[in-house]
Amino acid sequence: MKIHEFQGKEIFRRYGIPVPDGEIATTPDEAQKIAEKLGGKLVVKAQIHAGGRGKGSLTKAAEIHGVKVVTEAKDARAHAQALLGNALHTHQTGPEGQVVRRVLIERATDIAKEYYVGLVLDRETARVTFIASTEGGMEIEKVAAEMPEKILRLGVDPATGVQAFHGRKLAYGLGFTGDTANKAAKLLAKLYQVFIDTDASLVEINPLVLTKSGDVIALDAKVNFDDNAMTRHPELLALRDVEEEDTRERAAKDAELSYVALDGNIGCLVNGAGLAMSTMDIIKYVGGEPANFLDVGGGATAAQVTTAFKIILQDPKVKAILVNIFGGIAKCDVIASGIITAAKEVGLKMPLIVRLEGTNVELGKKLLGESGLSITPANDMLDAAKKAVKAAGGGK
């Protein structure tokens, strides 16, 4: 689960991680009031769930960027007005961008030097691991690719948790000295505590800055949470902004299905993540383009299939639907009945190609053939993919 920068900064504040003074505005009036209250040089920052907002610009006006430094309250208001309600596109959004619904107005910082610090789970060592670099402001993936020697990595033993030396090692490693090294070290230890306490999957400050007056401040805050742990964090679930999520992905998530939208025209409905990916792969292998990834889970009940059909049908690009169910323990006749019920309930008109495998497979195929719906049974994955590509008009 992702949250906004301003929400991440609120969490940082609670842990004593210094962030610039600032407030959130949803209207130009609010932006002006906040700007007048804060006074002086300010930064107006678009709040969307995507990085690259400074370089990103409005879909309808390329000269207007997501982040702007202003000195007058009226300019803060003008920039808020320009951003609010309009789509901002960055390298992390699609070309259509994401609509800006809030702007963060902050006091500007006199930057002496910028750094990158983040925490992720390292899969190989199974440890929460610090990643730090002197190349602040740059995307860490780019630094890793171009200047891997500039990246410091430090895993934390879960049995001890973060220790003071972790912070010192990183702070001195980044070139901090004297009192600022102490400040940076303390900040890093607190950052680890944020990660653990919130069941985060990513915590990132880019840039972390050393100010001209010697303070160490988080100018940005990116915090993602582990979806699997959210049941024990009702307070964090309240931070979810559903407007930032793809409508179909959101509907799938709410129905406990796993859905990812793609660009093709063959809708896929599969049980199990590995088989769902393979179904997309085989569609591509035979020259077609999948419209989505959709995993209905190992079981595939009629209710889940109905919801899945509804989600797939929201995509106007879809010309045919391929259902690939390896029933295994579940009986194919039961699954077939579920598919027929679901197809009737949603009034499915487009070609539906169904591959079933498992117990009672022949009975399942017979039911599909006699359903009166436009269902084409397939013998195996390859057969199903070929039939689906043909039904969709030969792929993309």
Partner 1 sequence: MSVLVNKDTRVLVQGITGSAGSFHAKLMLEYGTKIVGGVTPGRGGQKFENKVPIFDTVEQAVKGTGANATVVYVPPAFAADAILEAMDGGISLIIAITEGIPILDMVKVKRSLGSRPKARLIGPNCPGIITPGECKIGIMPGHIHKPGHVGVVSRSGTLTYEAVDQLTKLGIGQSTCIGIGGDPVNGTNFIDCLKLFNDDPETEAVVMIGEIGGTAEEAAAQWAANNMTKPIAAFVAGSSAPKGKRMGHAGAIISGGKGTAKEKFAALENAGIATTANPAEIGITLKKALEKHH
Give the residue numbers marked as catalytic.
Answer: 116, 204
Query: Which member of 157, 254, 362, 370 binds partner 1 (CB under 8 A)?
Result: 157
380 sits near partner 1 (criterion: CB under 8 A): yes
Nearest to 88 by CA among 67, 118, 107: 67
Stretch that binds partner 1, among 3-11, 80-88, 103-111, 375-383 (CB under 8 A): 375-383
Instruction: Tell me if residue 69 falls in helix, strand or coil.
Output: strand
Report the C-alpha gap between 103 and 18 in whole angstroms: 20
Determine, following the binding rule CB under 8 A, whether residue 111 of this chain makes contact with partner 1. Answer: no
Of 13-21, 68-76, 355-363, 366-374, the segment contacting partner 1 by CB under 8 A is 355-363
Q: Which residues contact 87 (CB under 8 A, 6 or more apart)?
A: 58, 59, 60, 96, 97, 98, 99, 100
Query: CB pairs under 8 A, 24+ apart, for 377-382?
Result: 377/353, 378/353, 378/354, 379/355, 380/355, 381/278, 381/279, 381/282, 381/324, 381/355, 382/282, 382/286
Q: Calculate the alpha carbon distances from 129 to 176, 197, 217, 326 in Å.
A: 20, 15, 21, 38
Would you count residue 272 as binding partner 1 (CB under 8 A)?
A: yes
**Of 173 and 328, CB closest to partner 1:** 328
Structure tokens at 156: 């934390």
Half-sphere exposure of 62 (CA within 13 A, CB side): 1
Q: Which of 64, 111, 251, 260 binds partner 1 (CB under 8 A)?
A: 260
Contacting partner 1 within 43-102 (CB under 8 A): none
Distant-in-sequence, close-in-space partners of 178: CB < 8 Å, separation ≥ 6: none
358 binds partner 1 (CB under 8 A): yes
The residue range among 19-27, 32-40, 62-70, 223-231 that interacts with partner 1, by the rule CB under 8 A, is: 223-231
Residue 273 makes contact with partner 1 by CB under 8 A = yes
Smallest distance, partner 1 to C-beta of residue 385, A: 8
Compose the 224-253 pattern: x for residues touching partner 1 by CB under 8 A, - for all others.
--x-xx-xx---------------------
Q: Pick the binder of partner 1 from 359, 363, 390, 395 (CB under 8 A).
A: 359
- List interacting residues with partner 1 (CB under 8 A): 121, 123-124, 126-128, 140-141, 144-145, 157-159, 196, 199, 201, 226, 228-229, 231-232, 258, 260, 262, 270-285, 290, 293, 295, 298, 326-329, 357-359, 380-382, 385
